[in-house]
Chains A and B, each alone.
Chain A
Amino acid sequence: MTPALLVFFVIGTIAVASSILVIGMRNPVHSALFLLLTFLCVAILFVMKSAEFVAAVQVLVYAGGIMVLFLFVVMLINVRHLPDEKVLSRFAKGGFVVGAAVFILFATVIRPGVYHDPVNNEQALRTTYRYVRRRSDHKLLRRGTVVGNSEAVGMALYREYLVPFEVASVFLLVAMVGAIVIGKRELSALEEETAPQYMIDRVETEKEIKEAMSA
């Protein structure tokens, strides 16, 4: 067993075990921390497949951004978990059946040797040879210039994938505006706690609307 294979098995086992703990933990904070562990293990696996830039983005965005967002929301909501509260929904049995079925499906599709041996051309992930066809680039990059993985991915993002890249930026803008608009609070938390009349008014308004609808 080569060292790379050993690292893969150890890291992969940690990733799968912590992912199972993500959905098994009662406390959402514990789930978030195990999710963080899963993301870090997956980042290591990305590095092993010479995707260093994706691994860095994974650590920055997932482990840095999304995880902090999750922990913020857990703190904001502050749900008290009673020890006898139900964790599983009423679809639990069906969920396990569906998960097992999907796993068996993957396991039957992915048999060893289904895909022929890799071409083993790791250099291709670091070269910008695809992007030198334009005349103006001859001075900058020659055909088959070996650069770092980050530079090669950047070239791909800003040339071949320029339009999807811009669409992604518009998507992020829309997501940001949407999150702000949806998350905007109508009353401050203090007012909401000290004024239960607010909830009563809301319920009364809903009743009036229902009556008006049925009338």
Chain B
Amino acid sequence: MPSTEAYLMLSGTLFAVGLVGVIIRRNMITVLMAIELMLNAVNVNLVAFSYHLSSLDGQVFAIFVITVAAGEAAVGLAIIIQLYRLRSTINVDERNELNG
């Protein structure tokens, strides 16, 4: 059985990849996908510790994280659609109207 450390390393790798994706990509949809990737990495962590500590709490927290991810994806994609209707672009670095 793979150790808890192996799961934590995998989770950390996924989280770092998601973080890089959030920062470097211009396409807003891909940025949202990278955020989902980071949330999923956290779930891997929670489940690994749930097994490590023989406690169900980690799995319950993972389910709550999945719930929050679903709501966040729905609202984020609605915002992206509305932004595209108004400005005809979904590139992150072209949206700087809030700069003071």
Interface residues of A (CB under 8 A from B): 2, 4-5, 8-9, 12, 15-16, 19-20, 22-23, 25, 28, 31-32, 35, 38-39, 42, 45-46, 48-51, 53-54, 57-58, 61-62, 65-66, 69-70, 72-74, 76-77, 79, 86-92, 94-96, 98-100, 102-103, 106-107, 110-115, 118-119, 121-122, 124-125, 149, 152-153, 156-157, 160-161, 164, 168, 171-172, 174-176, 178-180, 182-183, 185, 192
Question: DSSP class of B's interface residues: helix, strand, loop or mixed?
Answer: helix
Q: Is there an interface contact between B29 and A58, defined as CB atoms closer than 8 Å?
A: no
A182, B23: Cβ atoms closer than 8 Å: no
A87 touches B14 (CB 8 A): no
Report chain B residues within 8 Å CB of A77: 29, 80-81, 84, 90
**Complex A-B: 12 CB contacts under 8 Å:** A16-B17, A19-B17, A32-B33, A49-B7, A51-B59, A94-B23, A98-B19, A103-B13, A115-B52, A118-B52, A172-B67, A175-B74
A2-B1, A42-B43, A73-B77 given. 9 additional CB < 8 A pairs? A4-B2, A22-B30, A49-B48, A66-B69, A72-B77, A95-B23, A107-B9, A113-B5, A118-B52
- Distance between Cα atoms of A143 and B67 in the complex (Å): 31
The complex places the Cα of A91 from the Cα of B48 at a distance, in Å, of 33
Cβ-closest chain B residue relative to A175: B71
The residues of A that contact B8 with a CB separation of less than 8 Å are: 106, 110
- Kindly state the separation between the CA atoms of A75 and B37 in the bound complex, as whole angstroms: 21
Whole-angstrom distance between the Cβ of B39 and the nearest chain A Cβ: 9
**Residue contact A124 to B54, C-beta cutoff 8 Å:** yes
Is the beta-carbon distance between A156 and B60 smaller than 8 angstroms? yes
Cβ of B98 under 8 Å from chain A: no
B30-59 contacts to A (CB < 8 Å): 30, 32-34, 36-37, 40, 43-44, 47-48, 50-57, 59
A91 and B91 CA atoms in complex are apart in Å by: 13
4 interchain residue pairs of minimum CB distance: A95-B23, A106-B12, A23-B21, A175-B71
Grouping DSSP codes into helix (H, G, I), strand (E, B) and loop, the A interface class, with mixed when no group exceeds half, is helix
With a CB–CB cut-off of 8 A, which chain A residues contact B43? Answer: 42, 46, 54, 58
CB nearest neighbor in B for A100: B16
In Å, the complex CA distance between A130 and B67 comes to: 25
Specify which chain A residues have a CB less than 8 angstroms from the CB of B33 in the assembled complex. Answer: 22-23, 28, 31-32, 35, 70
- A57-B66, A98-B20 known; A73+B36 contact, CB < 8 A: no
Residue among B9, B15, B24, B75 with most chain A CB within 10 A: B24
Choose among A16, A20, A39, A54 the residue that contacts B62 (Cβ–Cβ < 8 A): A54
Distance in angstroms between the alpha carbons of A11 and B85 in the assembled complex = 40
Q: Are A88 and B78 in contact (CB under 8 A)?
A: no
- What are the residues of chain A within 8 A of B90 when measuring CB–CB? 77, 79
